[in-house]
Amino acid sequence: MEIDQLKTGWRKSSASSGNGACVETTSVKADEILVRNSRDPEGPVLSFTKAEWVAFVAGVKAGEFDAIV
């Protein structure tokens, strides 16, 4: 996936501890959310539809993933 890293507004979670152990997200298209490892900004990028991302965030807020942390 070719992404202009300088023009893309990657956002890091406000809950990030500052040690680089975090993911960053951005949206370059109306229905595409991109996610990358903040420690490896030139590495692989995951792509999700807006609906997939909204479902994931709702699951996080509902505690569906609490058992894995």
pLDDT tens string 18-27:
666 788 999 8
Tell me how far apart the alpha carbons of residues 33 and 49 are, in angstroms, rounded to a whole number: 6
What residues pair up with 46 in beta bridges, in sequence order?
35
**Global pTM exceeds 0.85:** no
pLDDT at 38: 86
- Residue 45: closest CA among 10, 20, 19: 10
Separation between Cα atoms, residue 52 and residue 40, nearest integer Å: 23
Question: Quick one: average pLDDT of 2-21?
Answer: 69
